[in-house]
Amino acid sequence: MFMEKFIVKKKFGQNFLKNDLIIEKIVNSIEVNHDDLIIEVGPGKGALTKKLVKKGCKVIAFEIDKDTYPYLKDLENDNFSLIYDDFLNIDVNSYLSDYQYHDLYIVANLPYYITTPIITKIIDDKLCPKAMILMVQKEVADRFSAKPGSKDYGYFTVKLNYYFAVEKLFNVKKTEFNPVPKVDSAVVSFKIKDYDKNLAKKFDNFIKDAFKMKRKTLKNNLGSDLFNKVLPILMEAGFGSDVRAEQIDLETFIKMVKET
């Protein structure tokens, strides 16, 4: 088949995986049943997609770059839908409403420039995947699974860990991509937790405030009234009144939000 030369678009974060063993490893990181549904964000030239469609359940792929069509069109069948649009600007739930499925999974080698917005959308749109396997920059993977008190621990770490058990599975060298990006990557597993859905919005607002100004104490960021309400919980957890948000673990945050 004749295919025009593909021009890589940096603006779309295009770094295509070329190592088949790594592709296998990613795809084998999730186990699905035939009545489940997989979303892939950014199928590109189909490195992961080709193997995802063989898993036997339905797959929907969202891709922004129509020039990838020659590489993906042969995969289209009853179990595979390809949607050309900007994942960040679509109503994913309206696509999902066309499907009947048991569990949702999300698999992606994410475009690096919008890693956090994509994950935020998945959470805020309440897609509720049972699990996600996402390739991200190595430094970003470290931030996702950072421990309290470390330099990488921040608002997004706490937000993510409220919803998901986050685990870095393995690193991937930059030379495994074409074109070669500036930094190494890592594959991260996210498994949905039994989180309190009724508390989620309040929790998010609270941690946004708690981490508002990095150098300030929690008291400064929350204001005295709110801080005094949660102070007994902080003290019980062994923190002093000059504590900063980045020292506080997820469980203590949850206890504080329940108290407010």
Of the residues 8, 88, 183, 235, which one makes contact with ligand SAM according to CB under 6 A: 88
Of the residues 24, 74, 86, 125, which one makes contact with ligand SAM according to CB under 6 A: 86
Cα pseudo-dihedral 238, 247, 219, 123, rounded to 10: -120
DSSP string, 196-212: -GGGHHHHHHHHHHHTS
Distance CA 238, CA 255 (A): 14
CB of 144 to ligand SAM, least distance (A): 17
- Using rule CB under 6 A, residue 75 touches ligand SAM: no
Distant-in-sequence, close-in-space partners of 106: CB < 8 Å, separation ≥ 6: 38, 39, 40, 41, 122, 127, 129, 131, 132, 133, 134
Q: Toward ligand SAM, which CB reaches closer, 52 or 234?
A: 52
The footprint of ligand SAM on residues 43-62 (CB under 6 A) is: 43-44, 47-48, 62
Q: Toward ligand SAM, which CB reaches closer, 116 or 217?
A: 116
Q: Toward ligand SAM, which CB reaches closer, 42 or 129?
A: 42
Of the residues 16, 155, 170, 239, which one makes contact with ligand SAM according to CB under 6 A: 16
DSSP state of 214: T
- Using rule CB under 6 A, residue 141 touches ligand SAM: no
The residue ranges that bind ligand SAM (CB under 6 A) are 12-17, 41-44, 47-48, 62-65, 68, 86-88, 109, 111, 114
